[in-house]
Structure 1
């Protein structure tokens, strides 16, 4: 059984194909460091500050809501991540087992769009950070530097991304802990514990926000666990991902909430971080910049895998090479950089609003994916069928999944509260988007009933490819 070459140990040589047992490597703890480090960044800090600034909770109730939301949503991302070692393929390819070869194209398209959207937003944010730290670097140059750095990491691929985040866990975790110490070591404002109060709408909105935050990662979590040995099982990758993703985001959301309470009311969240942490503030800004670049590599990596998956749907015999990944990454980089260079001042907020609206399509997908894997097929799939032109035993379209998926989207619309669409019942709880909850409650039982009462696809066996 041949081992991968030293070159391929550094530069990933797989794209969307099955990772054979001979090339499996790593430990479950790698998932903890990946998801912990990834979530220590400016965006979750700014979002955590909203708990105080927008939802007007006090510190105690804000922290309770933050913890509840992320612990709930973390179940979804952890269940998705635990699929990777069992199948050895990216999440979007695995969707063919639920939706059929062509039926999976719609969710692949939406996922690619979300990746690209966040990649653009983050290179704009990275450009602003670079320009803020070094004003002599023009904004256009700063954007290009941020984009090129993320692209280099994304092209090298899986192993390098994990290595960076192992380092990032210690560096970013230590920096965040030092930041907390700096904030609590100073004289706290008189209203630090009393600013805000419990209110039901703010509490539910915060719990909802945390849940959605975690669910938004689910379409690509198994992309970063598929190289782990199958023998590692389900429990270890589940708990490593769960604790990494939830602990990182809970700490970062809480950091944002505490920072804005340490400064006068109305101060911008990132400015509050700089003011509240004293001499550590500029160091945190540099570390956050590095983490933006590292995290953005995941967006590019996922976009490339999604696009390759879409192309391969129409070219079953095509096995993309490293060169293809480099070319696609370069094309995405060029297009995204052009958009970012011409972005308006309010681009990030507008674009993130658009992308978050697309989360309406992720909730029913996650529901179907998890129900199918854990309750119906119980983790047993025919890998070879994922790459057959006719879809193998899963066919070109699985109407059970498609019907449940469409219903899952439609049922959310009346309750949606997004930048694109506001439903007639969006204010059941003021300020909270509860559409995801209705999506889960309808899609899960509907798909299970359709898939088990009709003519369910017969589960095959996982083909162990040793090429």
Structure 2
């Protein structure tokens, strides 16, 4: 008979001590509502508004086609992200640390570092848009000071850890949801607001470009959804993790990007400014709510950046991961991302869309390998202890099957790639590189696994 440890005494919020280690069952305090609230609130930020505004203000799409592109892109992309989230209750470890099973103990650190850079980019991006939102309310204020203050709030939340982040997200999801709903209703009641783009025609290029943005917006969550679903008890199961994540991501992103679609139609050059100019005092209040909430939401981005930084440190430098190491890694990472935001005050949306395009190409092959390995090859059975074995254990230090499959998946996308610095010979008006990359990577990985004849791991708890 196994002895279950007693449950942890509940306080308002518990200071985190597990960092990247498996979460014991008695400390798994997550619920389906808390997971839903995390992903609802994470999308409720001005960055999502500005992204939605690209459909009408950037690509010049009519309102109806803009809403359709936003909706379709998010429901497709969220499916992949939610599948990754369903792994959390089973394995109990951070998302990118799981990559050790597919790429090896050291090989996984390459992808953890890529994810770290991505989260740092999002942290900086959110700071910039939050600053812009506040600038619409207080013209001429010190933008650098605002960035530093907002960053300090996010860093403080991240230092405390998951439990405080979870509770903060629950309340934010309610507050911001009300603010966005009021804004959309008031905008819809404005004269000519719903007919602002009636004089333009839909272009396939613009529609599918916006569709791809919606997809990559959701897939960008894939490398860290299990960072939070790992706190769900095992008995909760993968289905609860999947649907809580899926509906949280889709409902909030479509909702907030929809607000951006309306604002982009009204004021293509300054969608956030349209909140204040069109909605008056109510719009200004919403902008303040957006700015302050972004500072709190950003703690989630930094938290996952830190999880990946710790994975890299443990893998490559044999660092013993303690609470002290986690706290200092949080402070240093936050300071670096803040510095990037301070230096990056300029043509933000051009840089951000390019950043999203690059993420799509980098994330797709990893996502294909992780999902295929978990659901088809291993069917959720992994040796968790082996993932923390510095010698590599049964997964090795460098897993050739995973790494070669990833490389082939990247190469398969090249002919269809279309980014600022490179355009492939087969690139067209419709971006299909992500479909090609996912399919080729999945097939190559399955074929190589079949011929490697590697025995299935024994499921062992850490």
TM-score if structure 1 supplies the norm length? Answer: 0.92
- Structure 1 window deviating more from structure 2 (390-399 vs 52-61): it is 52-61
User: Could you tell me whether the CA contact under 8 Å between 1:121 and 1:348 is conserved in 2?
Assistant: no
| SS at 1:234 equivalent | helix
Deviation at 1:425, TM superposition (A): 2.9
Equivalent-residue separation in structure 1 for 2:353 and 2:394 (angstroms): 38
User: Which region of structure 1 is more displaced relative to structure 2, 432-441 or 188-197?
Assistant: 188-197
Partner of 1:461: 459
Provide the residue aligned with 2:180 in structure 1: 176
Q: Structure 1 residue 260: deviation in Å?
A: 3.0
Q: How does 1:6-405 map to 2 (within 5 A)?
A: 9-135=13-139, 137-189=141-193, 191-192=195-196, 194-261=198-265, 263=266, 266-314=268-316, 319-346=320-347, 349-350=350-351, 353-354=354-355, 356-405=357-406
Q: In the alignment, which residue of structure 2 is the partner of 1:444? A: 442
CA contact (8 A) 2:47 2:126 kept: no
Q: TM-score, normalised by structure 2?
A: 0.93
Residues in 1 aligned to 2:286 and 2:134: alpha-carbon distance in whole angstroms: 13
Distance 1:195 1:155, change over 3 A: farther
Q: Distance in 2 between matches of 1:446 and 1:150?
A: 41
Deviations 1:37-85 (A, max 9, x none): 1112112211211211233322222222221111111111100111111
Give the C-alpha shift of residue 276 in structure 1: 3.3
1:8/1:171 CA distance change after superposition, 3 Å: closer
Query: Which structure 2 residue ranges, 5 or more long, are not aligned?
Result: none
Distance 2:257 2:183 in 1: 13
Does the CA-based 8 Å contact 1:40-1:252 persist in structure 2?
Answer: yes
Change (3 A) 1:314 1:7: farther
- How many Å separate the matches in 2 of 1:267 and 1:344? 16
Structure 1 position 135, deviation (Å)? 4.9
Q: 1:207 to 1:341 in 2, by over 3 A?
A: closer
Sort the Cα spacing of 1:349 and 1:147 in 2 relative to 1 into closer, same or farther, 3 A: farther
Q: For residues 190 and 180 of structure 1, do their structure 2 counterparts lie closer, same or farther at Cα, with a shift above 3 Å needed?
A: closer
Contact 1:182 1:276 in 2 (8 A): no
Secondary structure of 1:236's match?
helix
Query: Residues of 2 paired with 1:339 and 1:187: CA distance?
Result: 41
Q: Find the residue that maps to 2:225 and give its secondary structure.
A: helix
1:8/1:249 Cα in 2 relative to 1: closer, same or farther (>3 Å)?
A: closer
SS at match of 1:104: helix
Change (3 A) 1:189 1:214: closer
* CA contact 2:63–2:194 (8 Å) conserved in 1: no
Q: How many residues align?
A: 458
CA contact (8 A) 2:20 2:310 kept: yes
Q: Give the deviation of 1:7 after TM superposition.
A: 7.2
Aligned equivalents of 1:45 and 1:286: distance in 2? 14
CA contact (8 A) 1:304 1:329 kept: yes
In structure 2, distance between residues paired with 1:82 and 1:156: 25
For 2:147 and 2:208, locate their aligned partners in 1 and report how far apart those are by CA, in whole Å.
37
The CA distance in 2 between the partners of 1:187 and 1:126, in whole Å, is 28
Q: Write the distance in 2 (CA, Å) between the matches of 1:190 and 1:127.
A: 28
Equivalent pair of 1:182/1:278 in contact (CA under 8 Å)? no
Distance 2:202 2:420 in 1: 27
SS in 2 for 1:411: helix
Distance 2:194 2:162 in 1: 48
Is the contact between residue 393 and residue 457 of structure 1 (CA under 8 Å) also seen in structure 2?
A: no
CA contact (8 A) 1:123 1:146 kept: yes
